[in-house]
Amino acid sequence: MPLRPASFVRGEARLVSRAFPRPQFDPRGEWLLILWVSLKLQSGQRRSLRRSFREKRKVATAALYPYRPLLAQIIPMRRCNLACAYCNEYDATSEPVPTAEMLRRVEHLSRLGTAVVTISGGEPLLHPELTVIIGRIHDLGMVSTLITNGYLLTVKQIEQLGEAGLDRLQVSIDNVNPDEVSKKSLKVLDSKLVRLAKHARFEVNINVVVGAGVAHPEDALTIARRALDLGFTSTMGVIHDHTGHLKALGPAERRVFDTFQHLTRFSLTRFNNTFQTNLAAGKPNPWKCRAGSRFLYICEEGLVHYCSQQRGYPGTPLEAYGLDDIKRAYHEPKACAPFCTIACVHQASAFDRFRDQQAAHVFHGAEHALATEARSGATNGLGQRRLDIVGQPAPRSAAPSAAPSAPQSAPQSAGVQ
């Protein structure tokens, strides 16, 4: 077992000593404790403990300083191998962002003090040098997570992701059997989940959804139980109705929601219970959205946006995004916040719940976009209106605009992103 810094050893020792009774010896003999732990735990458990300690330390450090991003989501590839009817986060033609450019973006996020970097898309596994990007995130000391539809997960790909230093991976599964809306089904992806269970050296989370537009809400429980049986965690998100607004869950959906909360004590739904319960009831949440500060969304063009559904705001190039921008966004209220279901933004903002009050000026981009949609009746080109995950539609363009164009949004969930 390679030697590690004493501070790391003490942290790992404390984590393990809470979970396992240890023999009686001089408490100053921390190296003896680590030796005993190494014999007690299998290699996979040791890796999990080290990862857990590193993640908690990184997030806790960033949480102490209000003007450091806790989570940044980056897009190395907008193209996707699927074409889910509800999604506005992909196209069929984009080329991968050059690796050198992605590395520059990751390095700038590190200079900003970012704790966690999530790689999303499109489908990020289509990027030919994804592991190089993950490796750089790891080398810079940030936590790396990946969101994928799972279709491209081979044994070789899973092993390469682990070797690169990936910390967490999320697969979103929408139904048990594929339908015309989504092909992300348990029937198709179960073999991929088995591969992950056997070969992944990182944590795996399976996200499910419930709400308007879900034909079989009970599918969420089937998928979640399968995930838990394989040793994964599972999260649930609430989605909007076809008008782009939050709709209270019906009786059948609410039963699924309530049952899910008690499946596991590690459920994000239970951890974030008040926020999720209000969403399920169609009620607003009073909270301070710190998007643009604690949470950053960096599109494939390298522009910083408040989130995936408010693209165009502020639309600043990442290399020019600094402390002044972070402070401004930190103190700026967002009109779309009360019905927002983007859990990653809510979680990143929760660390500052009892900190500074936000300024009187309110970001109204979402409200203008909603009015634009009401006038234009914009659709997603597939004959149906796109669903929105922030309670208000987002602009079509990724470029900054004083007058937002027709909204484009998707029924993403309130699970981890």
Phi, psi of 306 (to 5 degrees): -60, -45
With a cut of 50, list the residues of the chain below it in pLDDT.
Answer: 1-28, 30, 33-34, 36-37, 40-44, 242-244, 267-270, 366-417
Q: Given this model, what pLDDT does residue 85 score?
A: 77
Residues 6 or more apart from 237 whose CB is under 8 A from it? 207, 208, 209, 210, 211, 341, 343, 412, 413, 414, 415
Architecture of the 68-417 domain: Alpha-Beta Barrel (3.20)
Residue with tokens 């994000």: 268
69-118 pLDDT, tens digit each? 999 999 999 999 998 877 878 999 999 999 999 999 999 999 999 999 99
Q: What is the CA radius of gyration of the chain?
A: 21
For residue 327, give both structure tokens.
């402070």
DSSP state of 352: T
Tokens of 138: 């790891």
Q: Strand 233-239 and strand 295-298: pairing?
A: unpaired
Residue 122 preceded by cis peptide, ω within 30: yes
Instruction: State the residue for tokens 């030697």.
Output: 3
Cα–Cα dist 136/171, whole Å: 22
Q: Structure pTM? A: 0.75
Helices (H), 244-396: 251-261, 268-271, 273-280, 323-331, 343-350, 365-376
- Tokens linked to 35: 């030796």
Edge-to-edge strand ranges of the sheet holding 168-172: 233-239, 203-211, 168-172, 143-148, 116-119, 71-74, 295-298, 303-305, 314-317
DSSP string, 262-299: TT-TT-HHHHTHHHHHHHHTT--------BTTTEEEE-
Closest CA to 235 of 334, 141, 346: 346
Nearest residue to 148 (alpha-carbon basis) of 107, 104, 192:
192
Secondary structure letter of residue 79 according to DSSP: B
pLDDT of residue 363: 62
